[in-house]
Structure 1
Amino acid sequence: MHVLPGLQRLSILLIFLLCLVVMLPAKAAIPGAGTLPGQTASTDAPSAGALNDSLSQVISTLENDQQRQALLESLKQLQQANEQRKDADTGSSGLLGALASSISTFDGQDRTGFLARWKLKAIKAGQDLTSRMTLSVGAGRLLSHFLMTISIWFGIGWGLKWLVRVLARYYSWDISLPEEPAFIAVLRYFLRRALPWSIAFGATLGIASLLPASAGITLGMVMAYVSLAGLLFRLICEIIFSLFGYGHRRIAQRLLRQRALGRLFVIGALAALGDAANADEVRQLVGNNLGSFLSEMANLAAVVITGIFIIRFKRPIRHLIQNSPYPQRKQRSNAMVLMYALGRIWHIPATLFVAALFLSVITLSGDARSAFAKAVFTAGLLVVVLIINGVIRRHREQERPRGKRRRYSLYWRRLSRFGYTVLQLISWVIFLEIALQLWGYSLTQARDPQTLWQYVAHSLLSLGTTLLLAWLVWIVLDTAIQQALKSTMKTHRGRHQSTRAQTIAPLIRNVVFVTISVITLIVVLANLGVNVTPLLAGAGVIGLAVGFGAQTLVQDLITGVFILIEDTLAIDDFVDVGGHMGTVEKLSIRTVRLRDLDGIVHSIPFSQIKSIQNYSREFGIALFRIRIPHELKIDDAMKMVQEVADELRQATFGRFYIWSPLEFQGIDSFDNGAAILRAQFRTSPVKQWEVAREFNLRLKRRMENDGINMAMSRMSIQMESGDPVQGAAPLHHSGATSNGPFPGDGPVRGPSHGEDPT
């Protein structure tokens, strides 16, 4: 996009202006601050005569109106200047604090004076070099001692390196660094490359300490130190690149390992040279002016090469930051969005940092001469922290609960994730403390309200601790809720256990989460200095108003809470609530949603529920009332029903849903002369109706196969005249069935012509 370069330039300008404001000198001179009469700059105790003279002068000043007014104006000016100094002291110096006086000095001088100072410094360095060359020190002796020192270091280093190769070949060690190395591979590679030269440097230093002091030996040790520092810096950067070898980063990683390591060696070596040139031994050897000039030139060259490195490898490093495996890109979490944004703009703060160091070096202002060495050391600490965090992340991904941890797998997973996060935060806090100690500050200092960075640092630490404690409390309570719901439902079946957890767990978790969030917010606001008493009072008034204005809503909430806690309802239960029968599809904190047998969805508030009939708890009862045919004896009927019941229980359907044998409860009643036999099955919940339908179907088929008709009502009619006809029976009406006479039915007329005898 065409807007991006403009945004980048605007971002650089804004950040640079912010640094100018932040890095104002904290110890600026107070304008207009005079001295009191009699006040001297000496720290020695004044004599009695001087003290009497000062007191006399003060008394005379106070007695004179004009002098007293002048003194009052001077005191007001001093107070105003002190206020300005207090405002200046609240600024943050941070990592670039040494640059503040340099920038102000550079702004207050013209270009001619600035170049003149560099010219003067170069002339003095040349004078030191000339004087050292004219001393009665033989060049051959100096060169021989220098070559001897380098040869000792180089020989020991190569010998140890050859020994490591022999051991690796003998034990078949893989001493190369793969693109996706494990921790042991990283450690083995670092020790193979760094340990021989480090041991050689220590041995050479020990040998040099036993020999008489010599300029050649000192220069040789400086050369060895510079080379070792460059090697270590190169190795650390290479290991960091290897930690980003997964995902789609291999091309960028391979490019950096092939082309960038040489520049990184030069940067580390120049930084070490700038630090070594400031050492007392080197300054005594080459002179103060020449040592200072060499240190500043080495730092300046390192800064320039670092800027070139940032511009040259901007794109590969951006790919290392942005690219990630597909599952992480698919989640699109906040961390991924942050890393993607950081990858797009990482070169802006890096370039600004290099520019600040460049200004810090060329201004030649006090502590600014060692600013680059401090910055490089801070960068090295940052690299170490990144490596530690990478190792922690790898270990977290490879960690799996084993053995006894399986019983507490949920606790273990969540607490281990919290522990890894705390370890990473602790590593960053330690890095910040060491970096601040390097620049002359500390997080452990007492918080000074007049110092802005101390106030902000302590506030951030307090907020971070509060958030971590809130997160820990949430993890413990949330896991305890889930474990408690599982432990209380161990005696129930799996479906009921899952539905109960699905029903009540979100409600309790939301209540706990909101409570923890509110308490955390109050604590955070209190730490920020906000008076939370009016907020609490206002929240209480609002809650009281809502309670009076929404009584029905409050009633729904309270009733719903008790219904859910008592486990009266659960998702997938078949219930009869408020005249509506159906399956529970959803339970909220205020309503229950049912879908009836016709597919209609009913949403019923908890306050309207007076009674609940739940058909899904523990078991169901399939109840049968069977009319026994008139021609069938009751014992034969019970035998036939029992056989049908046994056949149903042996079927696949009955094995799953029928939990008890058929239980006969006897003759329930008589209906028009037919006996009503009552029996029942104990079934699984909500399956009683299916069992009853299947039993009725099998019983009907059995009766049809045996030629038995179902009992039904029957009417018998007999015609009578004044004189009874011979052979005729009196007229009688009966409600018995047509399948044979029963006692009390009376005589039955024979069938007429063409009528079915049955």
Structure 2
Amino acid sequence: MQFIIRLCVFALLLVSPALAQVPGISPAPAETETTDAGSTQAVDDLVRILENDTARAALIEQLKQAAPAEDAAPAEEALPDLSIARQLAEYTRSVAQGASATVRAVGGIFLNFRHAINGTLSADYDVIRTLAINLGIVLVGLFGSFWIFKLIAQPLLARISRGAGKRNVWKKLGIVIVGTAIDTLTVVAAWAFGYILALNFGTTPSGEMGINQSLLLNAFLLVELCKLVIRVLLAPRHIDLRFLPVTDDNAAYWSFWLARVISLLGYTFMFVAPMARTTISPAASAAVQVLVMVTAVIVGVIIVLQNKDDVRLWLAELSAKHGHSGLWRVLAAVGQHWHVLAITYLLALLVVWFANPDQALPFMLGATLQSLIAVVVGSLIVGFISRFVSVGLKLPGDVSQRLPLLESRLKAFVPAVMAVVRWVVIAGVIIAIGQAWALFDFAGWIGSDEGLAVAGSIVSAALIILIAIILHVVVASWVEYRLSANTGRMPTPREKTLLNLFKNAFTVALVIFGLMLALAQIGVNIAPLLAGAGVVGLAIGFGAQKLVQDIITGIFIQFENVMNEGDVVEAAGKSGVVEKLTIRSVTIRDMSGTVHLIPFSSVDQVSNMMRGFSFYVSEVEIAYDSDIEGAKQAMRDAFAKVMEIQEYRDVILDDLDLQGLIAITPQSVSLRSRIKTLAGKQWGAGRFYSETLMRLFTERGIETPTPKMRYLQGKNERHGHGDMPMGELPA
């Protein structure tokens, strides 16, 4: 029974509006609803309703009426309309509301001027007079002291800046820092002197410093420090201290106009407008702000139009200087219409300020400032990278002597890396601009778990690729060091062959493993790639039998050490010097300079002429009736003359191997001799030996079997009746 009563009490609380409409039942007093007595009263009311037939019927009727309404309520909640028409209607409504607010804000300008005039006429002249006296004292003392301090500091600044352009960058930077400190000291000293005047002379009747004097002093400090930054960057009076690459005319022009705009906006919004709000009326403050804002925008438009052609030509020259490539081409295209974009931005800034100066204007100014900072920082980084790449990399002399190819390899490697870094910086600038204008929340995304995972994957993949590139450079440099003759140890042909093969194999393996690891870091499943590579390799093995034969034959040739780079060999009918050996083919350059690429599958045998030692074989033919012993003696004498030359004596390993008569023909006899030399050194000594031998044969009358021509006049020709064929008879 208690459970039923509690359940009814809960239902009573849910339908309390319905109970209030039941005839004869009045709600309990408010003060009893917060006590235990209130709960008891509610139970009593429920019991009384249930006992009364009329009240019970009325309660049941109210519950029946309430139940369908509650059931239908969820059904009445229509799903949001996501159609294009509904979205377009919502967008146009928001644009219309914004335009209406802007029009009302612009229309309120005239009301502000009218209220400003009324507020001025109704202001207290005594208060204004007192304020003018106090501000006049502070103004005269503030700007007078500032002018005096500048006169005092000017000779000192001129002295320390003299000759700064002839010094190095760090000394020049130190001079700029000292000059900036002196200039800052003049501003702070004038500001402090103004505060002293305001505290002692420009006080209110109560003896306290007025808020308007404090506004003036703080506005002076901020405005002059901003102007100081402009003077430091442009240095219109001290050319030697200027870091920015601008001309004297441009430095003076921009320094003048930026200082005026900063003074106009700074003193208005930090001093004049707040003072007008408190002393005259809020309408007067708003009117002054509008007038100054319109003036600043007009000045900005005039500056843009004055520099329209200069900026366009400057961007075109930069694009031409960098070869009209990539980003510079885009900048050149933007330079054609940059003034339209700048004027549109200034007008949009003015309209936004009219519509919502408290929120939209600070956001737009902050986004603009952040965008400018991002562009300036990105430009400095890209400029430094471009300067570093253009200057190039110069290694020390001893390193270049030991590793002659390292410098060229780094010069080819560094620009590619710097190009990647340059595009990363450009992407960072774009992200910073988008973040500043709230186009996307990159900072929030990168701080999330997903962003951290993606960033970590990209950084890990980039590090793997960078480490792979560094390893390639290190291994290639080590191989180059081992093969360099400048290290004091001449590498053998076998070392040249094996080290070059090792470098090639290491490069291929490094590329494959580095690429696989990088893909794995960015979330690519490399297991299918590995399986696919196995299937592809198997298919290539069946389909490209020649390739497999090339590789297998090449492996055995390397194992057996048949030939190395620099050897003179004969393979596949081609003979010459081995210039390059891979696991698949050999490159041979013949005597005429022709390069032959021979796959190992077409090599049946290899003839190496440079293993261990070599022989120069000389076979000469002499006439049948010549003196054989005299010929042999001439061969010995020719070898003796060869041994008299140091260059040939050092490469000849043994005495002349005179084998004598080796063949007899009806016209001649053949004699053979051999000279044993170091491997690959037989041709120089052999050529000189042959030249000397022929000269000795001529001097000693030893003839070679040379055919001679004899012309016989025919019978018909002697009688003038025709030609007779010529005959060839031996001498």
TM-score range, shorter chain: 0.5 to 0.7
C-alpha deviation, 1:696, in angstroms: 0.6
Residue in 2 aligned with 1:323?
Answer: 317
Distance in 1 between residues matched to 2:69 and 2:179, nearest whole Å: 79
Alignment of 1:712-723 (within 5 A): none
SS at match of 1:70: helix
C-alpha deviation, 1:613, in angstroms: 3.8
Cα distance change on mapping 1:485 and 1:419 into 2, 3 Å: same
Residue in 2 aligned with 1:204?
Answer: 190
CA contact (8 A) 1:198 1:228 kept: yes
Residue in 1 aligned with 2:148?
Answer: 155
C-alpha deviation, 1:65, in angstroms: 4.0
CA contact (8 A) 1:361 1:369 kept: yes
CA contact (8 A) 1:270 1:298 kept: yes
SS at match of 2:154: helix
Cα distance change on mapping 1:689 and 1:421 into 2, 3 Å: same
1:67 is the counterpart of 2:58:
no
Residue in 1 aligned with 2:470?
Answer: 476
Cα distance change on mapping 1:243 and 1:489 into 2, 3 Å: same
Match of 2:629, as an amino acid?
Answer: E
C-alpha deviation, 1:582, in angstroms: 4.0
Distance in 1 between residues matched to 2:332 and 2:501, nearest whole Å: 39
SS at match of 1:664: coil
C-alpha deviation, 1:701, in angstroms: 1.1
Match of 1:578, as an amino acid?
Answer: A
Give a deviation string over 1:682-723, Cα, whole Å, max 9, x none: 26x4x64354233211122134335566899xxxxxxxxxxx
Give a deviation string over 1:598-627, Cα, whole Å, max 9, x none: 777755334333444455x68873423467
Correspondence for 1:621 among 604, 614, 617: 614
SS at match of 2:356: coil
Residue in 1 aligned with 2:100?
Answer: 109
Distance in 1 between residues matched to 2:285 and 2:242, nearest whole Å: 37
Correspondence for 2:482 among 488, 495, 501: 488
SS at match of 2:655: strand
CA contact (8 A) 1:385 1:427 kept: yes
CA contact (8 A) 2:264 2:292 kept: yes
Residue in 2 aligned with 1:705?
Answer: 699
1:580 is the counterpart of 2:574:
yes
C-alpha deviation, 1:277, in angstroms: 5.8
Alignment of 1:263-302 (within 5 A): 263-270=257-264, 272-273=266-267, 276=270, 294=288, 298-299=292-293, 301-302=295-296
Correspondence for 1:364 among 343, 349, 356: 356
CA contact (8 A) 2:116 2:280 kept: no
Cα distance change on mapping 1:445 and 1:164 into 2, 3 Å: same
Match of 1:370, as an amino acid?
Answer: P
C-alpha deviation, 1:371, in angstroms: 3.7
SS at match of 2:629: coil
Match of 2:230, as an amino acid?
Answer: F
SS at match of 1:624: strand
Report the identity percentage: 19
Larger Rg: 2
CA contact (8 A) 1:234 1:268 kept: no
Match of 1:575, as an amino acid?
Answer: V
Match of 1:369, as an amino acid?
Answer: L
- Tell which deviates more after alignment, 576-585 or 425-434: 425-434
Give a deviation string over 1:256-281, Cα, whole Å, max 9, x none: 34644433333444554576369989
C-alpha deviation, 1:164, in angstroms: 1.7
1:218 is the counterpart of 2:209:
no
C-alpha deviation, 1:232, in angstroms: 2.2
Match of 2:687, as an amino acid?
Answer: R
Distance in 2 between residues matched to 1:571 and 1:275, nearest whole Å: 81
Distance in 2 between residues matched to 1:668 and 1:433, nearest whole Å: 89
CA contact (8 A) 2:215 2:271 kept: no
CA contact (8 A) 1:275 1:373 kept: no
Correspondence for 2:655 among 658, 664, 683: 664
Distance in 1 between residues matched to 2:306 and 2:562, nearest whole Å: 69
Distance in 1 between residues matched to 2:254 and 2:463, nearest whole Å: 43
SS at match of 1:323: helix
Give a deviation string over 1:325-360, Cα, whole Å, max 9, x none: 99964xx76566566556556556655544543442
Residue in 1 aligned with 2:598?
Answer: 604
Q: Structure 2-normalised TM-score?
A: 0.64
Cα distance change on mapping 1:63 and 1:101 into 2, 3 Å: closer
Count, aligned residues: 616
CA contact (8 A) 1:590 1:606 kept: yes
Aligned CA RMSD, in angstroms, stands at 6.0
Distance in 2 between residues matched to 1:82 and 1:62, nearest whole Å: 34
CA contact (8 A) 2:461 2:517 kept: no
Match of 1:640, as an amino acid?
Answer: D
Residue in 2 aligned with 1:13?
Answer: none
- Tell which deviates more after alignment, 212-221 or 597-606: 597-606
SS at match of 2:127: coil
- Tell which deviates more after alignment, 664-673 or 134-143: 664-673
Distance in 2 between residues matched to 1:436 and 1:278, nearest whole Å: 34
SS at match of 2:100: coil
CA contact (8 A) 1:229 1:268 kept: yes
C-alpha deviation, 1:190, in angstroms: 4.9
Match of 1:67, as an amino acid?
Answer: E
Structure 2 unaligned spans of 5+: 1-13, 17-32, 47-61, 200-208, 665-669, 707-730
Residue in 1 aligned with 2:629?
Answer: 631
With CA pairs under 8 Å and 6+ residues apart, which has the higher RCO, 1 or 2? 1
Alignment of 1:133-172 (within 5 A): 134=125, 136-137=127-128, 138=130, 139-168=132-161
Correspondence for 2:676 among 668, 674, 680: 680
Give a deviation string over 1:11-63, Cα, whole Å, max 9, x none: xxxxxxxxxxxxxxxxxxxxxxxxx999xxxxxxxx979xx99xx9xx97998
Q: Structure 1-normalised TM-score?
A: 0.62
CA contact (8 A) 2:353 2:360 kept: yes
Distance in 2 between residues matched to 1:534 and 1:672, nearest whole Å: 71
C-alpha deviation, 1:476, in angstroms: 0.1
Match of 1:152, as an amino acid?
Answer: S
Cα distance change on mapping 1:678 and 1:296 into 2, 3 Å: same
Cα distance change on mapping 1:371 and 1:660 into 2, 3 Å: same
Give a deviation string over 1:45-90, Cα, whole Å, max 9, x none: xx979xx99xx9xx9799824412313543x64xx48999xx99xx
CA contact (8 A) 2:617 2:672 kept: no
Distance in 1 between residues matched to 2:195 and 2:219, nearest whole Å: 14
Distance in 2 between residues matched to 1:37 and 1:413, nearest whole Å: 85
1:645 is the counterpart of 2:642:
yes
Distance in 2 between residues matched to 1:267 and 1:564, nearest whole Å: 79
Match of 1:218, as an amino acid?
Answer: L
Greater helix share, 1 or 2?
A: 2
CA contact (8 A) 1:584 1:593 kept: yes
CA contact (8 A) 2:374 2:432 kept: no
Cα distance change on mapping 1:642 and 1:402 into 2, 3 Å: closer
Alignment of 1:432-443 (within 5 A): none
SS at match of 2:676: strand
Match of 1:377, as an amino acid?
Answer: L
Cα distance change on mapping 1:504 and 1:280 into 2, 3 Å: farther
Match of 1:174, as an amino acid?
Answer: G
SS at match of 1:478: helix
Distance in 1 between residues matched to 2:360 and 2:15, nearest whole Å: 38
Distance in 1 between residues matched to 2:638 and 2:82, nearest whole Å: 107
C-alpha deviation, 1:578, in angstroms: 2.1
Residue in 2 aligned with 1:262?
Answer: 256
- Tell which deviates more after alignment, 512-521 or 234-243: 234-243
C-alpha deviation, 1:158, in angstroms: 3.0
CA contact (8 A) 2:565 2:580 kept: yes
